[in-house]
Amino acid sequence: MTPGPTEIPERVREALARPIANPDVNPAFLDTYRSLTADLAAVYSTEKDIVVLGGEGVLGLETAVASTIESGDRVLCVANGLYGEYFAEFVASQDGDPVLCSFPADEPIDPNAVREAIEKAARDGEAFAAATFVHCETPTGTINDLETVLGHCREAGVLTIVDAVSSLGGAPVPMDETDLCIGASQKCFSAPPGLTTLAVSEAAWERIEATDARGLYTDLEPWRDIETTGEFPYTHLVSNCYGLAEAVSMLREEGLADVFERHEASAKRCRELGAEIGLDTDAEEPLCSPTVTAFEVDSALAIQGVLHEEHDILVGTGLADRENDLLRIGHMGYNADVEHVERTMDALEDVLDGSDDWDTGF
């Protein structure tokens, strides 16, 4: 019950164990890949191109930046949490010039403030080449409503990059005004880590072609016509593709509306049961994510340890300097299930009731 990697259902694990078709030589692999991206487009709810890269979600985030940002490009990194701030590191690592536009972790992103930052930069002759956003701030269980602010970027001609790693497949992701939207296999899809997905707009492709990318593994350019040519820049992760394809098929069989509703119901039940035992969420509604809930606690590490040891349930703690202050319950993908949530919260109540007995003196 961590916020990813999530438990992998048996059907997906069986798909991983299939004998493989050689992805370099056997044309059957291109059919697999085409079918996977078509199914993913339905999950993204977009007609934009979908690309599946062979690596963890961090590869997708870095690739989006590395393929579109050149040395010296100014990039507005909009953040109301750690992951938003991390985007500045991806930009800096490409010799771009990141400008943080930060909001407190418990407050929504203010579209007007972002618009003003974009307009001021343009007036000053320092226009932004791109802006980055995080849809679900996994570290605090915050989901951002990005439609308006993405619209402002589009009007100003600023390329938009959205990290939807921990929401894609569990909640509708903002697509209309998004140029690059990144997902990963191990979150709401409940496939193993190893594949990262990108939805790529026509404007993004144009930028990618105009950008002199450094690096090969993080360059999207060779992927533009991949479904026609089949000339993958490396041997694709064929077993992982089988697993993700099965996982996405399961979402489509269930129906996306039902999948999203299942996530919402699990999140709601998690917050209700938390409230019953006196736990506050870090994010306030409507910022509470349907995929992960962060409760404010003392001694998160101790609680995590006892839950794992005594109840065989693994949950997340906070990150960085909030490591011990937040307990994070993942209800994403296969684990987005009211019964799973109830079992977890029952166990948590039990652990908190017994906290007097802990060595840590909770």
- List CB contacts of 27: < 8 A, sequence separation 6 or more: 230
229 sits near its own copies (criterion: CB under 8 A): no
Residue 242 structure tokens: 């089988």
Shortest Å distance, C-beta 174 to its own copies: 24
Calpha distance 158→130 (Å, rounded): 5
Q: Which of residues 180-219 bind its own copies (CB under 8 A)?
A: 186, 192-194, 214-218
Q: Which of residues 274-333 bind its own copies (CB under 8 A)?
A: 304, 308, 314, 316
Shortest Å distance, C-beta 218 to its own copies: 6
Which one among 35, 148, 239, 249 touches its own copies, defined by CB under 8 A? 239
8-state DSSP, 272: H
- List CB contacts of 74: < 8 A, sequence separation 6 or more: 96, 97, 98, 99, 121, 126, 127, 128, 129
Shortest Å distance, C-beta 315 to its own copies: 8
Name which of 7 and 110 has its Cβ closer to its own copies. Answer: 7
8 sits near its own copies (criterion: CB under 8 A): yes
- Interface stretch with its own copies, choices 59-67, 128-136, 252-260, 276-284 (CB under 8 A): 59-67
93 sits near its own copies (criterion: CB under 8 A): yes
Q: Which of residues 159-178 bind its own copies (CB under 8 A)?
A: none
Which one among 155, 157, 225, 234 touches its own copies, defined by CB under 8 A? 234
List Cα–Cα distances, 189 to 43, 53, 185, 258, 335, in angstroms: 10, 15, 6, 14, 10
139 sits near its own copies (criterion: CB under 8 A): no
Shortest Å distance, C-beta 213 to its own copies: 8
Shortest Å distance, C-beta 55 to its own copies: 4
List Cα–Cα distances, 289 to 98, 198, 219, 223, 281, in angstroms: 27, 21, 31, 32, 10
19 sits near its own copies (criterion: CB under 8 A): yes
Calpha distance 159→150 (Å, rounded): 9
Name which of 117 and 301 has its Cβ closer to its own copies. Answer: 301
Residue 329 structure tokens: 């319950």
In 3D space, the residue among 121, 120, 148 whose CA is nearest the CA of residue 133 turns out to be: 148
User: 137 by DSSP, 3-state: which?
Assistant: strand
Total residues interacting with its own copies, rule: CB under 8 A:
52
- Residues in the chain, how many? 362
Residue 117 structure tokens: 């930052």
Shortest Å distance, C-beta 211 to its own copies: 13
Name which of 80 and 240 has its Cβ closer to its own copies. Answer: 240
List Cα–Cα distances, 167 to 4, 53, 290, 321, in angstroms: 11, 18, 8, 24
User: 225 by DSSP, 3-state: which?
Assistant: coil
Amino acid type, 64? A
Footprint on this chain of its own copies (rule: CB under 8 A): 2, 4-5, 7-8, 13-14, 16-20, 22-26, 54-59, 62, 66, 89-90, 93-95, 186, 192-194, 214-218, 233-240, 243, 304, 308, 314, 316
